[in-house]
């Protein structure tokens, strides 16, 4: 028993030493590969609560009239377009974009807030005009990650969309994205843990591995004002017209 205890202690010490060596290397990665995000914001959370059905048969006439007025008011408020100037074309909130990973991603090597790039797999067309062409590169980030470990701990990897740009250089904020979990060894892990600490350490869950080209969707986070009227849209999205910051330099 003493030898078994010493062996287990040696194994645990070895794992801690390896983790201690790996962590500084992970944090030594270039800062440019990481994204600054609001840690309190959950890009995968449902923003709107489901509407609760009301049994109108149990309401009085006065209560039914009040409910109808409330529903009509809510419908009117939904029609109001926030963050968009009157008369401007916009990308509606909750528009879904079909995208794919540019490089492979896995829960073993990626770190939280690490930048991940994707590209669109089809055009986003508004009023017959291409606003975001197929192949446009967007930026996402690792929102949550956990690599597989002992005792069947499964890998977790959630990659959230952050932003992408239109042809006229307007930044489109994004949310949602790609998420998945690895597999656990299940019952074998519980038995191993009960019988042997060392045995449990070697019962590993699986990591998440997404190959390059993995398809998923990201969602437009807010209404995005494109800064043009319907009449100006076609010219504004002309790829042959340069868009960006313009300076006028006077030479004396």
Query: H-helix or E-strand containing 103?
Result: none
Top pLDDT among 16 and 118 is at 118
Residue 22, C-beta contacts closer than 8 angstroms, at least 6 positions apart: none
The gap between the terminal CA atoms of the chain, to the nearest Å, is 90
Q: How confident is the model at residue 248 (pLDDT cuts 50, 70, 90)?
A: confident
Top pLDDT among 111 and 4 is at 111
Question: 92: closest CA among 101, 102, 104, 81?
Answer: 81
Write the CATH number of the domain with boundaries 34-43+89-236.
2.40.128.260
Domain boundaries defined on the chain = 34-43+89-236
Q: Within 10 Å of residue 47's Cβ, how many Cβ atoms?
A: 10
Per-residue pLDDT tens over the stretch 181-209 = 665 555 444 544 454 555 455 566 789 99
Instruction: Please tell me whether residue 129 adopts helix, strand or coil conformation.
Output: strand
Question: Residue 15: is its pLDDT beyond 80?
Answer: no
> Which pLDDT belongs to residue 150?
66
Question: 116: closest CA among 222, 214, 24, 233?
Answer: 214
Per-residue pLDDT tens over the stretch 51-93 = 567 777 777 888 878 888 877 776 665 556 888 999 999 999 9
> Which pLDDT belongs to residue 169?
94
Per-residue pLDDT tens over the stretch 108-161 = 999 999 999 999 999 999 999 999 999 999 999 999 999 887 666 788 999 999
Angle among Cα 130, 133, 32 to the nearest 5 degrees reads 135
Question: Residue 171: is its pLDDT beyond 70?
Answer: yes
DSSP letters for 31-67: GGGB----TT--TTS--SPPPPP--GGGS-HHHHHHH
Per-residue pLDDT tens over the stretch 17-54 = 444 433 333 334 444 589 988 888 999 998 765 556 77
């Amino acid at each position: 028993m003493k030898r078994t205890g010493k062996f287990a202690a040696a194994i645990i010490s070895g794992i801690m030493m390896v983790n201690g060596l790996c962590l500084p290397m992970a944090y030594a990665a270039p800062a440019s590969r990481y994204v600054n995000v609001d840690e309190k914001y959950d890009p995968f959370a449902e923003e709107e609560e489901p509407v609760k059905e009301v049994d109108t048969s149990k309401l009085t006439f006065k209560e039914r009239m009040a409910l109808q007025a409330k529903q009509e008011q809510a419908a009117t408020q939904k029609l109001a377009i926030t963050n968009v100037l009157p008369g401007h074309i916009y990308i509606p909130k909750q528009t879904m974009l079909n995208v794919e990973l540019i490089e492979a991603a896995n829960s073993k090597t990626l770190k939280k807030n690490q930048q991940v790039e994707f590209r669109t797999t089809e055009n986003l067309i508004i009023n017959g005009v291409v606003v975001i062409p197929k192949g446009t590169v967007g930026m996402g980030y690792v929102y949550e990650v956990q690599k597989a470990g002992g005792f069947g701990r499964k890998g977790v990897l959630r990659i959230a969309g952050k932003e992408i740009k239109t042809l006229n250089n307007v930044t489109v904020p994004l949310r949602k994205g790609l998420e998945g979990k690895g597999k656990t060894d299940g019952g074998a892990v519980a038995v191993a843990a009960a019988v042997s600490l060392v045995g449990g350490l070697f019962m590993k869950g699986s990591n998440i591995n997404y190959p390059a080209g993995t398809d998923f969707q990201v969602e437009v986070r807010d209404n995005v004002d494109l800064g043009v009227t319907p009449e100006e849209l076609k010219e504004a999205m002309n790829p042959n017209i340069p868009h960006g910051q313009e300076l006028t330099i006077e030479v004396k």
